[in-house]
Amino acid sequence: MSGFEEIEKKWQAEWSEKGLDRADRISGRPKFMIIFAYPGVTGFLHVGHLRGYTYTDAIGRYKRMTGYNVMFPVGTHATGNGAITLASRVANKDLDFIDYLTRNGCPEEKLEELKDPMKAVDFFNTIYVNEYWKRFGFLADWRRFTCTVHPDYGKFIQWQFKKLNECDLLMQKPYYSPACPVHGPVAIDASETDISKGGSAEVQEYTLLKFRHGDEYLIAATLRPETVYGQVCFWVNPDVQYTRIKKGNETWIVSKEAAEKLQLQVDGITVLSPIAGKDMIGWMCKAPMIHKDVPVLPASFSDPNVGSGMVTSVPSDAPDDWISLEALKKDRAVAKKYGLSETLIDSVVPISIISIEGYGDFPAEDIILSMGIDQPGDPRLDEAKKQVYKDGYHMGRMKDICGPFSGMRVEEAKDKMKQAMIDSGEAEVFYDLTEEVVCRCGMPVRVKRIDDQWFIDYGNEELTERTSEHCRHMEIYPPEFNENVHTTLRWFRERACVRQGNWLGTRFPVDEKWIIEAISDSTLYPLYYIISLYANDGRISPDNMTEEFFDHVALGKGDAEEVSKNTGIPKDVLDDIREDIKYWYPLDINLGGKEHMTVHFPVFLFNHRAILPDNMQPKGILVNWYITGKKNKISKSKGGAQPIPGAVEQFGVDPLRLYYAHVASMFVDVEWSEDNVMTYRQRLDRIIGTVEELLTSEEAGGKKEIDEWLISRFNGHSASIEAAMEKYDLRQMATAVYFEMLNDIKWYGRRGGNCKETVTEALRMWIPLMAPVTPHIAEELWSAAGFEGLVSSSQLPAAGPVSGAAEYREEFVREVMSDVIQIKKVTSATPKKIFLYTTPSWRSDVMRMGLEMMEAGALDIPSLTKKCMADENLRKNGKAVSEFVKKAVTDLTRSSSESKKYLIETDEYSLLISAKGFLTEELGADVEVFSSDDPDAYDPHNKSKAAVPGRPAIYLE
């Protein structure tokens, strides 16, 4: 056979030529529509991504071969700022990035046009389709390709949002989002898709506490409003410049950084005069809630970038506060420097407010002592803080001095106290990020209030209930997700669905200043693949694609004549689209990576349920896990993984496809390993070699027992594959096809099988089963075998009957062989002769009786013994019989009656006689077979007495 690459090209051309990749409606023929969640266009993909895509193609191919008309469309997702960033990096001559492009095969002259984001999208779209999906031999309907930034797709999304609006699922409310000043709201996540720094940052809610000083307020930001009863002083960093700001008719003092952040979240803030931290030291200010005057003291840990830049001090429960207060009391020089009197310092004493199991009156003190921290600025203070916060929150209870909150659990008191202070005007809410975040464009990301943010109301109970109910009728794998998709749906609340700024995407039809964000424009899109065909070939254009058009083709609203007149689309085209949608929808399988479980899949389900009728609801979801790198996830953005074209060249497409299908269950992560792929390549080589050998073999014998065995085995595999594929279990299928069936066919040859007719029959079963996972090789072998047509468009034959008897008999021979080898090994002798003694017939008789009793449901040792003793012949052997009965009964109760039936029915003697030649050759010694009943048998060591049904006695000489 020629090289992989050559046969890949050959058969891909052939499939395309014969139109296997085109999915058209065929009335009356069952259909199967499958997609993978389309990838975002953010750069080159790597070998990990092809895992899920390959599953999709293999399942589609299998369905095609079991009678279905299969539609497998593909597309890409370009909404967002990925392409914009990419283009700007090219435009800015970012060397690392240009190197990344060229390393992955981007020609130099292409760089110029990549400065245009849309061109960049086109560039990658072409790569995804030609270098990844087509290269992998997918039978996708390329005519239907769509991309989220194409104008026709946009029309579809606008229609979808109009429908959501009609269902009252769009709403507006203020929203606090991490936002870039240029690009608007950004996503913060570990993959750092939108941002260049700070992927693990979180938005934290601070309570701003207002401390009155004269007619001004010093503002402290706290994460623990429940600790206000323990406030004893106020920390200001003497080395920081603060500023006064006008907030409504109040004057606040905060750090300059905090002032900037506040302006993003609160209206009408004006910055007034600056004030140095050191000028506030020694002030007295009135603490909220407890209304006590507390002194302002110096603290270096107070960071202007965090919160308001000032901190209220609760030494009892805050390690920083405790250690700073202690330091201040110890080092009187500092107090002196700021003119603080000793009496003032001494008057500040911690107040115990929360009791936590395992801690004393002052949790902060305890944790500091146990961790051995002895001065401010110790880096472990952060850990100490986290620990004591966590324990306090979950196990703590408010002590009796906490007024109306006394006795409450901290978890409960926290919200209540915060709310009480907000209500009395002593506190406000403020949001900040836990660490510095920088947008891809280089600008700092801050939390910003957006007043008129639009949301999709996934919190809608009625919709949630209906969606959840529908999921009960779906096929969702893995089973865990099938279980917890319901909780995921319930956990969803409103989701911001639009954003502003420099983003690619579709204009929000309700208010055009917004652009629909990336998740929200990718929920209903499988439906669009049916329509995209017509937009792509020009039969309809974005101008025609009005709300009325979509209402008609998707929902069956309106009269075709009328719609045709209003849209300018010919009626027959409208009818075709409508019929296509009725034929292809609902979607049978949506396959996607595990990251979709809490993001894409729920909204995919919600939107279908909200907009489309009952008979258009999705039928299945398949989730696949990742291919990982050595230590961490192979990442698109961080590179390091093998580019796809290189891998294809190195290993061949089919070995890669087999690797994905078989290396592990779909539902576990797999560590990428070239050696693994290589072993799959070798396995395919072996299969190819074996088949070629079978085809070219000159030997031609008649049918023997082993022929029946082979066909029975293959029928069994076919049936188990059918069952496995009901659950889309490609791995189990691949085990049968590429391992077990190969082993069987090898064994067949070893046992002297050489019947042309059987071999042909076996290949007709085997090769098509290879077509879903390794289509190119299957095609090549199919043609080499001289079978008609393309195997990819053939139908899998229904599984024939299995012969339990034939399989049992073969197993018996194998056991005998293995036992002899065992004995040879243990004795480390090389025998010249091997004597086999089949069971004495009385033992079979006992077994037979036992089996009868078991089937009658009355098998036990005493009654079987009794029954045996009633037999005159058996009674002669009294002692041996009763001993054997014990063994037989335990034996019988432990295993299925099915296998015991074969055990009794098999004529072991003639079976061994027929296998004599084979055993002699395999074992390298002459084999003699005797029946234990034979009084003249050569048996010098009386081994024959060990013979039982299914287990002949063995003597080596």
Partner RNA sequence: GCAGGGGUAGCCAAGCACGGAAAAGGCGCAGGACUUAGGAUCCUGUUCUUAGUGAUACAAGGGUUCAAAUCCCUUCCCCUGCACCA
Measure Cα distances from 449 to 184, 194, 266, 410, 793 in Å.
Answer: 11, 19, 8, 29, 57
* Residue 455 · residue 494 · CB < 8 Å: yes
Render the burial of 683-697: b for 16+ CB within 10 Å, e for the rest. Answer: bbeebbeebeebeee
The single residue among 304, 592, 652, 753 that binds RNA, judged by CB under 7 A, is 592
Residue 191 binds to RNA (criterion: CB under 7 A): yes
Cis peptide before 404 (omega within 30 of 0): no
Query: What sign does the dihedral 179-183-189-195 (CA atoms) show?
Result: negative
> Number of residues in contact with RNA, rule: CB under 7 A?
99
Rounding to the nearest 10 degrees, give the CA dihedral for residues 661, 667, 670, 674.
10
The single residue among 335, 519, 710, 929 that binds RNA, judged by CB under 7 A, is 519
The single residue among 75, 154, 586, 593 that binds RNA, judged by CB under 7 A, is 593
Which residues have a Cβ under 8 Å from the Cβ of 682 and sit 6 or more positions away? none
Distance CA 634, CA 637 (A): 9
**Site stretch for RNA (CB under 7 A), options 282-290, 483-491, 578-586, 754-762:** 483-491
Residue 484 binds to RNA (criterion: CB under 7 A): yes
* Residue 776 · residue 747 · CB < 8 Å: no
The single residue among 264, 284, 678, 913 that binds RNA, judged by CB under 7 A, is 678
**Site stretch for RNA (CB under 7 A), options 2-10, 93-101, 159-167, 669-677:** 669-677
> Taking the complex as a whole, how short is the minimal distance between the CB of residue 682 and RNA, in angstroms?
4
Task: Output the six-digit token pair for 57.
Answer: 């193609």
Residue 438 binds to RNA (criterion: CB under 7 A): no
**By C-beta, is 573 or 823 nearer to RNA?**
823
**By C-beta, is 399 or 600 nearer to RNA?**
600
**By C-beta, is 504 or 553 nearer to RNA?**
504
Residue 938 binds to RNA (criterion: CB under 7 A): no
**By C-beta, is 481 or 534 nearer to RNA?**
481
Which amino acid type is present at position 310? M
Binding to RNA by CB under 7 A, coded x per residue (else -) over 715-734, reads: -----------------x--
> Taking the complex as a whole, how short is the minimal distance between the CB of residue 105 and RNA, in angstroms?
20
Nearest partner of 143 among 475, 512, 538, 470, judged by Cα: 538
Task: Output the six-digit token pair for 228.
Answer: 């206000």
The single residue among 397, 596, 609, 751 that binds RNA, judged by CB under 7 A, is 596
**Site stretch for RNA (CB under 7 A), options 211-219, 279-287, 753-761, 818-826:** 818-826
> Taking the complex as a whole, how short is the minimal distance between the CB of residue 518 and RNA, in angstroms?
3
Distance CA 590, CA 602 (A): 12
| Coil/strand/helix, residue 63 | helix
* DSSP annotation string for 295-334: EEEE-TT--TTSTTS-EEE-TTT-HHHHHHHHHHHH-HHH
Distance CA 114, CA 83 (A): 9
Residue 830 binds to RNA (criterion: CB under 7 A): no
Residue 356 binds to RNA (criterion: CB under 7 A): no
Residue 599 binds to RNA (criterion: CB under 7 A): yes
The single residue among 284, 823, 854, 880 that binds RNA, judged by CB under 7 A, is 823
> Taking the complex as a whole, how short is the minimal distance between the CB of residue 903 and RNA, in angstroms?
9
**Any bridge partners for residue 216, and if so which?**
213, 251
**Site stretch for RNA (CB under 7 A), options 108-116, 461-469, 545-553, 817-825:** 817-825
Binding positions for RNA, 8-47, rule CB under 7 A? 37-40, 42
Residue 923 binds to RNA (criterion: CB under 7 A): no
The alpha carbons of the chain give a radius of gyration, in whole angstroms, of: 38
**By C-beta, is 114 or 816 nearer to RNA?**
816
**By C-beta, is 190 or 333 nearer to RNA?**
190
**Site stretch for RNA (CB under 7 A), options 17-25, 89-97, 126-134, 685-693:** 685-693
Residue 492 binds to RNA (criterion: CB under 7 A): yes
**Any bridge partners for residue 46, and if so which?**
643
Residue 941 binds to RNA (criterion: CB under 7 A): yes
Residue 243 binds to RNA (criterion: CB under 7 A): no
The single residue among 227, 522, 544, 906 that binds RNA, judged by CB under 7 A, is 522
Binding positions for RNA, 836-865, rule CB under 7 A? none
Residue 665 binds to RNA (criterion: CB under 7 A): yes
Binding positions for RNA, 67-106, rule CB under 7 A? 77, 79-80
Binding positions for RNA, 255-314, rule CB under 7 A? none
Residue 705 binds to RNA (criterion: CB under 7 A): no
Distance CA 242, CA 309 (A): 8
> Taking the complex as a whole, how short is the minimal distance between the CB of residue 675 and RNA, in angstroms?
5
**By C-beta, is 120 or 188 nearer to RNA?**
188
Binding to RNA by CB under 7 A, coded x per residue (else -) over 360-399, reads: ------------------------------x---x-----
**By C-beta, is 673 or 910 nearer to RNA?**
673
Measure Cα distances from 629 to 518, 635, 636, 672, 784 in Å.
Answer: 27, 8, 12, 6, 39
Distance CA 720, CA 714 (A): 10
> Taking the complex as a whole, how short is the minimal distance between the CB of residue 690 and RNA, in angstroms?
7
CA atoms within 13 A of residue 703's CA, in its CB half-sphere = 9
Start-to-end CA span in the chain (Å): 48
Distance CA 480, CA 860 (A): 43
Render the burial of 846-863: b for 16+ CB within 10 Å, e for the rest. Answer: bbbbbbebbeeeebeeee
Residue 730, φ and ψ in degrees, nearest 5? -65, -30
> Taking the complex as a whole, how short is the minimal distance between the CB of residue 683 and RNA, in angstroms?
7
Binding positions for RNA, 882-901, rule CB under 7 A? 891, 893-896
* Residue 947 · residue 837 · CB < 8 Å: yes
**By C-beta, is 103 or 887 nearer to RNA?**
887
Cis peptide before 181 (omega within 30 of 0): no
> Taking the complex as a whole, how short is the minimal distance between the CB of residue 727 and RNA, in angstroms?
8
Residue 650 binds to RNA (criterion: CB under 7 A): yes
CA atoms within 13 A of residue 803's CA, in its CB half-sphere = 14
**By C-beta, is 291 or 894 nearer to RNA?**
894
